[in-house]
Amino acid sequence: MGRTSRASSDETLIIRNGNNAGANYGATAHPGQDVEGGRLPKNDEPNPLDMGQIALLSMARISEPLTFGILFPFVQQMIVETGEVEVENVGYSVGFIEVAFSITQCLSLLYWARAADKFGRKPVLIASLFGALASTALFGFCKHVWQMYACRFLAGVFGGNAMVIRTLFTENCDSTNQAKAFAYFAFAANMGAVLGPTLGGYFAEPAKQWPKLFGHFQLFIQFPYALPCLVCAVYILVSMVLCSMYLKETRPDECDNPPPIKEVLTRKTIGMFGIFGWGVTVVFCVYALFPLYLFTPVAIGGQSMSPPQIASLGAANGLCQGLWLLFALPRFDRWLGTKKTFIIVSSVFPVFMLLPAVANAFARSDNWFLSKLSLAAFVTLGSSGNMTFTSVQLLLNSCAPPGAIATVNGIAVAICGIVKSFFPAVINSIFAISVSKQILGGYLAWIVLSAMAAGTFVCALYAPEAKDDSKDMDKNRRRVLEAEGEEVLESGHF
Q: Could you read off the pLDDT of 413-458 as tens digits, one per residue?
A: 888 888 877 888 788 889 888 988 899 999 999 999 999 999 999 9
In a shared domain, residues 345 and 460:
yes
pLDDT level of residue 466 (50, 70, 90 thresholds): low
Which pLDDT value is given to residue 59?
Answer: 95
Does residue 120 belong to any structural domain of this protein? yes
Which pLDDT value is given to residue 11?
Answer: 35
In a shared domain, residues 194 and 340:
no
Which pLDDT value is given to residue 365?
Answer: 93
- Given its phi and psi angles, is residue 217 left (phi above 0), alpha (psi -120 to 50 degrees) or beta? beta
Q: Is the pLDDT of residue 482 over 60?
A: no
Query: Which tens digits make up the pLDDT trace of 100-136?
Result: 888 888 888 888 988 898 889 999 999 999 999 999 9
Domain of 285, CATH number, reads: 1.20.1250.20
Which of 246, 275, 296 marks a domain boundary? 246
Q: Is the pLDDT of residue 371 over 90?
A: yes
Query: Which tens digits make up the pLDDT trace of 25-48?
Result: 433 333 334 333 333 334 457 788
Does residue 271 belong to any structural domain of this protein? yes
Domain residues for the domain of 426 are 261-467
In a shared domain, residues 158 and 303:
no
Distances (CA, A) of 90 to 57, 71, 83, 240, 432: 36, 14, 11, 34, 18
In a shared domain, residues 196 and 229:
yes
Instruction: Tell me the DSSP string of 160-186.
Output: THHHHHHHHHHHT--TTTHHHHHHHHH
In a shared domain, residues 57 and 138:
yes
| Number of structural domains found in the chain | 2
The whole-model pTM stands at 0.74
Q: Partners of 36 in the beta sheet?
A: 39
In a shared domain, residues 221 and 275:
no
- Dist CA 359 CA 378 (whole Å): 9
pLDDT level of residue 308 (50, 70, 90 thresholds): low
pLDDT level of residue 236 (50, 70, 90 thresholds): very high
- Dist CA 209 CA 212 (whole Å): 9
Look over the chain and give the mean of its residue pLDDT values, rounded to a whole number.
80
Which of 198, 214, 246 marks a domain boundary? 246
Query: Which tens digits make up the pLDDT trace of 168-202?
Result: 998 898 878 888 888 898 888 888 888 888 888 88
Does residue 15 belong to any structural domain of this protein? no
In a shared domain, residues 238 and 306:
no
Query: Which tens digits make up the pLDDT trace of 209-222?
Result: 888 888 888 898 99
